[in-house]
Amino acid sequence: MPECTSCDRYFAPNAVLLDGTCPKCGEQVMAATPTRERVNIPWHFWLVLAGVVGYLGWRVVQFLIWIIQNSF
């Protein structure tokens, strides 16, 4: 998002003049690029995910055992 340091304003990219200057004061506009922090996934999410995968895996094993027992 373009930023004019003298006006202390942010502009929409299409609001800046064609030569890259501020429409209010006429100074050169700096293109401010936002920086993103890397957000780590919490440890308890992985714990819950492992529990769900373990539970569903056990239910599949139980289903296969049930099929084998009831097919004969």
Q: Domain range spanning residue 63?
A: 37-72
Question: Looking at residue 20, what is its pLDDT?
Answer: 79
Q: How many CB atoms lie within 10 A of CB 25?
A: 12
Which one-letter amino acid corresponds to residue 3? Answer: E
Same domain for 27 and 43, yes or no, is: no
Whether 69 shows a pLDDT value over 90: the answer reads: yes
Who has greater pLDDT, 28 or 53? 53
Q: How many domains does the chain have?
A: 2
Same domain for 28 and 45, yes or no, is: no
Same domain for 55 and 71, yes or no, is: yes
Same domain for 41 and 31, yes or no, is: no
- What pTM was computed for the model? 0.47
Which one-letter amino acid corresponds to residue 14? Answer: N
Same domain for 31 and 62, yes or no, is: no
Same domain for 47 and 72, yes or no, is: yes
